[in-house]
Amino acid sequence: MAASARQTGLKRSKVVANFLSDQQQMINDKKGANQMARNSMVLSSCQRIFEEEDFNVVITTSPEEGLSLVLDTYFDVVLCDWMMPGLDGMDVITRLEETSPGSAVVMITGYPSIERATEAMKRGAMDYVAKPFTPDEIIKAVDEAIQRKEGEERKVIERFGALTKTGKISLPSIDEKMLQTLSAAIDERRQMEAKPSLEALSEPERLEEMTLAVLNKYARDTNNLIPILQAIHSYAGYLSYETIGLIARELKISEHEIFGTASFYAQFKFEKPGQHLIRCCTGTACFVGGGGVILEAVESKLDIVPGQTTKDGMFSLERVACLGCCALAPVVTIDGEVYGQMSPAKLSRAIDKIYRTESVKSD
């Protein structure tokens, strides 16, 4: 069996190749040893073909070993012979569907037939290559399999992303009490270790402590990635790049994977929110009443657009489609408090008042 990875710098750009003779099961032990040596030559020449094309390659002659390799590492493509000792290519496809659904499988056979090709594709193989093949043929099959698999993934992501962004899919809220309990447990432990309390730590230190506690709470299981992200997001108000890096290191997965998962959901923010959140409604009732003008006025006053936070970290701005109180249109909320019949001047005064209050607090 062989495995390789295209060197794009992305962790997932890898290929597993498995080349075993179709006749292997029909020969006796002694000849079997000779056959294995020939297979190794096929494997090493395939390895060379892929490496010359900038793939990273891992090879193995055992389908079981190949499947356990796939469990540990993500591979873009699994090249798999149809007939192998113990497992056939169809078994491998079925097992890969469970353990590495993102890998594209390319089946190889010395006995090509339409029935076999149809069966392989029905089970989820991305391509089917007949032996003997030239280097160009196998590279082309692998490239096309990667592209097809990525195309399929993109479609799923776009569909899922569209549903989550429109709020048709939303995450269940996290139990705030759990965060309080974790926080109390951290303080208790730190007290026993004669260390300062969470409150006394700097923000990054506090966040690191809480992130590690949340990871432990969820048994550091990647299946719990979403609740882990939710809990940390709920605690910090956003997912910082440092936090994503820490989670990636602790769970031994890529930052890319975490970001990819979190960015599905509109609930997750990646920038530290301002101390105060202004939400401007531009739904139909509010827009007709001047919601658009109010939004423009606040954008100009704070020099930010929706989704951004002022440089001083004081305000974040969001545009919403309806706040559920259209009778008060145009509506703005500041830190959850509803301001009806809003106007640019009224909003400007409300912002100035907050600045004054904050400056008194810091004096």
Nearer CB in complex with ligand FES: 58/286: 286
In the complex with ligand FES, the residue whose CB is nearer, 259 or 287, is: 287
Between residues 105 and 294, which has the closer beta carbon with respect to ligand FES? Answer: 294
* Residues 320, 172: Cα–Cα separation, whole Å: 20
Mapped onto helix, strand or coil, the DSSP state of residue 56 is strand
The CB-of-250 to ligand FES minimum distance in angstroms stands at 42
CA count, 13 A, side-chain hemisphere, 362? 6
Residue nearest to ligand FES (CB): 283
Distance of closest approach, residue 341 Cβ to ligand FES, in angstroms: 12
Q: For residue 224, what are its two tokens?
A: 């719990």
Cβ 333 to ligand FES shortest distance, Å: 9
CB of 279 to ligand FES, least distance (A): 10
> Quick one: 253 or 285, whose CB is closer to ligand FES?
285
CB of 326 to ligand FES, least distance (A): 3
- Interacting residue ranges for ligand FES, rule: CB under 6 A: 281, 283-286, 322-323, 325-326, 329, 331
Between CA 57 and CA 18 the distance in angstroms is 11
b/e string for 206-229 if b means 16 or more Cβ within 10 A? bbebbbbbbbebbeeeeebbbbbb
Is the CB of 87 or the CB of 329 nearer to ligand FES? 329
Encoded tokens for 312: 């001083």
Residue whose C-alpha is closest to residue 357's, from 316, 306, 325, 315: 315
Instruction: Give me the least distance between CB of 318 and ligand FES, in Å please.
Output: 13
Q: Which two tokens stand for residue 266?
A: 């509109």
CB neighbours of residue 351 within 10 Å:
19
Least Cα distance to 236 among 207, 270, 199 occurs for 207
CA–CA distance, 257 with 267 (Å, rounded to integer): 17
Q: What is the identity of the amino acid at 43?
A: L
Nearer Cβ to ligand FES, position 211 or 333?
333
Indicate the DSSP class of residue 322. Answer: -
| Closest approach of ligand FES to the CB of residue 306, in Å | 15
Joined tokens for residue 6: 């295209």
Residue closer to ligand FES (CB basis): 238 or 339: 339
